[in-house]
Structure 1
Amino acid sequence: MPVEPTEASIRTRTVRRASIALGVGASAAVYLWHTDPHQPGQLLIPCPFKWATGLLCPLCGGTRMAYDLMHGDVMTAFHDNAVLLVLAAPAVAYAVGRWLVAGLGGRVHRPRLPARGNAVVLGIAAVWMVARNLVS
């Protein structure tokens, strides 16, 4: 018989998970701050899709974009991956914010994307991938 979590346990779990995520993210950001992905020979994980096909995936340029944003270069970040910057960054910020507010309020937030939402995201990703590979 499953036990319902209490508000305090949900809040504690949320704070613990947010702390771990913040620590991992901060460590990655510090490493990326000192590692210019625009320069060859850096110790960064390459895109497996580009490695296997030679084509740019919808997320290619995300690491360079994050580096450029951390250094205040929004125009170069836009050039690295415009769709990821304009659409995905605000969506992820909204989802993380909803999760954090709900968790600190003692509630569980389980984000759900309906089938139509999945189709829209996959459609945008496919169109972006084709467009950026035709242009470059």
Structure 2
Amino acid sequence: MTATGPAPHPTAPAGPPTGAALRAATLRRATLGLGIGTVGAAYLWHTNPHEPGHLLPGCPLRWATGLLCPLCGGTRLAYDLLHGDVVAAFHDNAALLVLGVPAAAYALGRWLTAGLRGRYYRLRLSSRAGAAVLGVAAVWMLVRNLVG
């Protein structure tokens, strides 16, 4: 104890981060994500997921049930996009290509822009938006499993 009161706990939060701290944290996270993404893309570039026998993650739902989940085909889609084959990427998972890739790019762009401006951005979906995403995913899963 000091004369003015108890000393602050060494792990107590110091308050909200400043703009400069948010910019630095955003740059660190973006650089780390870019590095990990580059390593993953380099591995995927040389590993064709259309051929069996490669060390690539499988879908647990497909493994357990034989059903295609809404994200099945995402690795093949990424491989085809890396090689510039948009038609094959569309065939791998049309909904993920048409809806998921732009949505992810938008959310990542908003986060990066806000962070580099020293502002905090958190993606928040309303209950309606969340229900719409789940509804589209459920319909896409049904369609791709029933149609084949």
TM range (shorter): over 0.9
Pairwise CA RMSD of aligned residues?
0.8
What is the 5 A alignment of 1:29-44? 29-44=41-56
1: CA distance between counterparts of 2:112 and 2:143? 35
1: CA distance between counterparts of 2:14 and 2:66? 49
2: CA distance between counterparts of 1:26 and 1:48? 25
Say which SS state the counterpart of residue 77 (structure 2) adopts: helix
The answer to whether the aligner puts 1:45 opposite 2:57 as a matched pair is yes
**Cα displacement (A) at 1:43:** 0.7
Larger Cα-atom Rg: 2
Any stretches of 5+ residues in structure 2 without a counterpart? 1-12
After superposition, what is the alpha-carbon deviation per residue over 1:26-62, rounded to whole angstroms, capped at 9, x for unaligned?
1100000000000011110110010011000000000
After superposition, what is the alpha-carbon deviation per residue over 1:47-98, rounded to whole angstroms, capped at 9, x for unaligned?
0010011000000000000000110110000000000000010000000000
**Cα displacement (A) at 1:2:** 4.9
The answer to whether the aligner puts 1:67 opposite 2:79 as a matched pair is yes
Give me the TM-score of the superposition, normalised by structure 1. 0.98
1:89 to 75, 84, 101: 101
Structure 1 residue identity aligned to 2:144: R
1:118 to 113, 130, 138: 130
1: CA distance between counterparts of 2:90 and 2:49? 15
The answer to whether the aligner puts 1:11 opposite 2:4 as a matched pair is no
Give every structure 1 segment of 4 or more consecutive aligned residues whose post-TM-superposition deviation is greater than 6 Å. Answer: none
Give me the TM-score of the superposition, normalised by structure 2. 0.90
After superposition, what is the alpha-carbon deviation per residue over 1:75-125, rounded to whole angstroms, capped at 9, x for unaligned?
000000000000010000000000000000000001100000000000000
Identity of aligned residues (%): 65
1: CA distance between counterparts of 2:90 and 2:16? 45
